[in-house]
Amino acid sequence: MYEKTVRRRRAVLALLVVLSLILLTAYFGEAPSGGLHSVQRGFLTVVSPIQDGANKALKPVRDLFGWFGSTLKAKSQNAELRKQLDKLRSQYTANQENEHSYRELVKLFHLDHELSIADYNPVTATVVYQSPNIWYSIITIDRGSSSGVRVNDPVIADEALVGKVTEVVPDAAQVSLITDSAVEVTAKISATGAVGLVQPQVGEPGRLLMQIYQSSTAAPVQGDYVVTSGTVASPGVSLYPKGIPIGQVTSVNEQGGFKSVAVSPLADLRSLEFVQVLTYSSGSRAASLNNVAATLTPTHQPDREEESQGQGGQLAQTGGGG
């Protein structure tokens, strides 16, 4: 009897472990359109209304805990922000003057037809799921294809880039954050204009690394802002609108003539509550630019990549009329 029970117990364990390994191997090996991915999307479709309801019902609890955390955080940030405010106030005055001159010049040379966030249709969505696992930088939002959300649409929060849409069902969508290994963004340093690719910093959850293409540009310094460049440099990446802030430079490294900077994201990716998905309607300029980007990048990949790197990734541009 005892032997039989032991055998049964071990058989159950072995069966479950083997089943997990089969699932893991099959899921990892199949394409995103495969059966297991479809099951996952179907599950998300079914449970997304429940998630949404639970999220709204439990919001007061979350807010209560969030209030304590935010109060403590706000107190510690208060003094530091006051110092920054004093410094920025003087910079702002100088920048206003520069901005005026810049606008005059842009008008003079007929360059004032770049796309901005307003040219996309921002769809506000509530974050209903956030992975607690540091290995997965994904969130689930309560807006899907029925609201015009599509795969690869850029997602912003607090005016800063947070990621892109990677899966869509009618009433929900999965967003991979910029700290996810599946996401890369062509960006530039606003102060120097140096273009590069922003990717997650390996082994540093929540941090980004920007590889700078051009070695000849002025060296970035700590505190410089990194913004989207409005270009695509490799296949399958999103065409993010130009000038969306991504983060701030925290350190600069140089190896073999190539510069890379560590970037701290501007958006608080661990406590996102609302985000905006930048969608576009068919026939709009944003849509046509996305189509151009999609048709250009997958062909002649090796040459294209070299070319794009040489030219700072200027394959398709959301500025300057595309």
Binding site for another protein (CB under 8 A): 1-2, 5-6, 8-9, 12-13, 16-17, 19-28, 36, 39-40, 43-44, 47, 50-51, 54-55, 58, 61-62, 65-66, 69, 127-136, 138, 140, 167, 174, 181, 202-207, 270-271, 273
The CA distance from 203 to 192, in Å, is 28
Based on CB atoms, which residue is closest to another protein, 60 or 302?
Answer: 60
14/218 with CB nearer another protein: 14
CB of residue 32 to another protein, shortest distance in Å: 11
Nearest to 66 by CA among 125, 130, 122: 130
Minimal distance, residue 44 CB to another protein, in Å: 7
Distance between CA atoms of residues 117 and 126, nearest Å: 19
167/165 Cα distance (integer angstroms): 6
Q: How far is 173 from 48, CA to CA, in rounded Å? A: 9
What does residue 267 show for φ and ψ, rounded to 5 degrees? Answer: -75, 145
Helices (H), the chain: 2-29, 35-57, 59-108, 285-296, 301-310
- The minimum distance between CB 301 and another protein, in angstroms, equals 21
From the CB of 180, what's the least distance to another protein, in Å? 11
Judged by beta carbon, residue 155 or residue 286, the one nearer another protein is 155
Crossing angle for the helix pair 35-57 and 2-29, nearest 10 degrees?
100
CB atoms near residue 173 (< 10 Å): 28
Question: Of 221, 227, 212, whose CA–CA distance to 249 is shortest?
Answer: 221
Q: How far is the CB of 1 from another protein (least distance, A)?
A: 5
Least Å distance, CB 54 to another protein, is: 4
Residue with tokens 């390996």: 202
**Minimum Å distance from CB 24 to another protein?**
3
Q: Would you say 47 or 292 has its CB closer to another protein? A: 47
- Of residues 131 and 291, the one with the C-beta less far from another protein: 131
Q: How far is CA 203 from CA 139, 162, 206, 208, in A?
A: 20, 19, 9, 10
CB of 48 to another protein, least distance (A): 10
CA 88-92-94 angle, to 5 degrees, is 120
Q: Which is nearer to another protein, 123 or 139 (CB)?
A: 139
**Of 305, 85, 95, residue with least CA distance to 315:** 305
**Residue 97 C-beta: closest distance to another protein, Å:** 39
Q: Residue 12 or residue 106: which is nearer to another protein going by CB? A: 12
Q: Which two tokens stand for residue 137?
A: 């930088």
Nearer to another protein, 55 or 152 (CB): 55
Angstrom distance (rounded) from CA 240 to CA 152? 9
Residue 276 in 3-state DSSP? Answer: strand
Nearest residue (CB) to another protein, 11 versus 85: 11
**Contact between 235 and 228 (Cβ < 8 Å):** no
**Token reading at 196:** 């590069």
